[in-house]
Structure 1
Amino acid sequence: MADAHAKKHDYHIIDPSPWPFIASVGALITALGAIAWMRASAGSEFTLFGVNLAGANFWIFAVGMIIILYTMFAWWSDTIKEAHEGHHTKVVSLHLRYGMIMFIASELMFFVAWFWAFFDASLFPGDPAQVARAEYTGGVWPPEGIEVLDPFHLPLYNTIILLLSGTTVTWAHHALLENDRKGLVAGLALTVALGILFSFVQAYEYLHAPFAFRDSIYGATFFMATGFHGFHVIVGTIFLAVCLLRAMAGDFTPKQHFGFEAAAWYWHFVDVVWLFLFTFIYVWASAGATIAH
């Protein structure tokens, strides 16, 4: 009888889980709160089933975010538990990697949208078919009256920070493969510190930017592209910080460390996207423009 129920395949049939449903509920509540918040900031109401939610917009949004964050913690805790129980066979691990690759590909398409908007506006600022755009830009890029950031000041500093962080996370990965726990922890700690430093420098840059989001199409495309990347840096830093805590707890082994590997892939993706942002949005778009000091 025992042999009849023995697992004879490399796949993992997971136990019934409440987390997909709870995550969906949290996402719905968060979306309702965000919509109510935006409507309230515009001086409008947001009525659902006869109830105006605009007055409680922050609390609705906060409740939704708490549900999502708790679901993330609990769901990933279950995944870690499954890995420790030996359910992550070679086939399962391979499929986890496929999933991470597809996730990064989907994130890449987000950035394609921001780059598309930027290049469409910058390469054709005086397009006769876009009369309104020509009025906004003056037919040149950057638009008339816009002073741009010096690409070889804070942006270059942040580029060096991210490139250094790419080397430290690679050092941590090689240390893990060689079962060097001290090297793993040191490399991850340095990477997290560099990620935090990048975010502080970018925040300082935003506070002192000579243009605003709503001032022009230049400001809109600049802040959407670089801000979306900055959000990814924050997410990646948290991802690596969790890996640091797990590494200190002895979770990872040279043969089983997908959680760390996924974080490293994500961080390298963030690095590469920044190189494109720095090259085109900071350096190329500032050529011949007035530099703000």
Structure 2
Amino acid sequence: MQTRRLKTDGLTQQILEAGTGPLVLLLHGFPELGLSWRAQVEALAAAGYHAVAPDMRGYGGTDKPGETADHTLLHLVGDMVDLVRALGESECVVVGHDWGAPVAWHCALLRPDMFRAVAGLSVPFQPRRPNGRPTETMAAMGRRAGLGDIYILRFQAADAHLAFDADPATALRKCFWSYDGATAPEHRATGLLPPGVSMLEAVPDHAALPPWLSPDHFADYVAAFTAGGFKGPLDWYRCLDRNWALTAFVQDARITVPALFLVGELDPVRRYAGAHEATLGDWLVDLRGRHVLTGAGHWLQQERPVEVNDYLLGFLRDL
């Protein structure tokens, strides 16, 4: 594997890559990096693919636009279109985890000519709904549950990233631990926060590194987020309502390319996005597989690299 930086039309992107052959893009989520896909880059390269995992816009070694409005889904899809072109290709398979999954789904939705197949991990495709802004829907969901706000609403505040920037190591450790499948159920995140309690305050201080996260691997995350900060990553969340406004033109559109979905049985995201798993077949016209990994949490490709690699390689072989 090697790391290099590529100048694309919109920005300079840092990528982790290995192998030669058909291109497969691997898109990370929050709070991760291209290195979150190391096990997949290695396995895909060994199987005859050119595996590329970029640091996404606002993360790691990739450029970090200062304006919140520069982090919409349309920017993120455009970044991947630019990256495919910069790599000298005209098509690829795109795979996304967490926030990378909505980007991957929309790559396939908006440019099926370039993104010939798509796999999403942890976050199912969520079609645009015509019933108002996403943050309004989330606020109503929290009120119905009677347990406070979903953490995404707290991220809308312009200063929400400052608590993460103040101690990146603690913030990352708490995020990884509270969404991991090995964490005790009473400490695993629900996504909902009591009034006046922040996401980081809701996680006990005794949070430890998950079993899959070595100190050296964790140090790479800490170094990247200490240098780059959390503003850009949280700006993705702050564009939720903007994304809704910008994507009216794809209302009711379906993804037509071959698709795969993987999710951890114990993934906390299923508490607030799980309903969309049941309707995947309505929106993914060529859904080739939908798999729940027993006992796994949110960090699917890092918690269960062997299983994820097997599913991805089987999906790719069948294309």
Normalising by the smaller structure, the TM-score range is: under 0.3
More strand by share: 2
Between structure 1 and structure 2, the one with the greater Rg is 1
User: Structure 1 or 2: larger helix share?
Assistant: 1
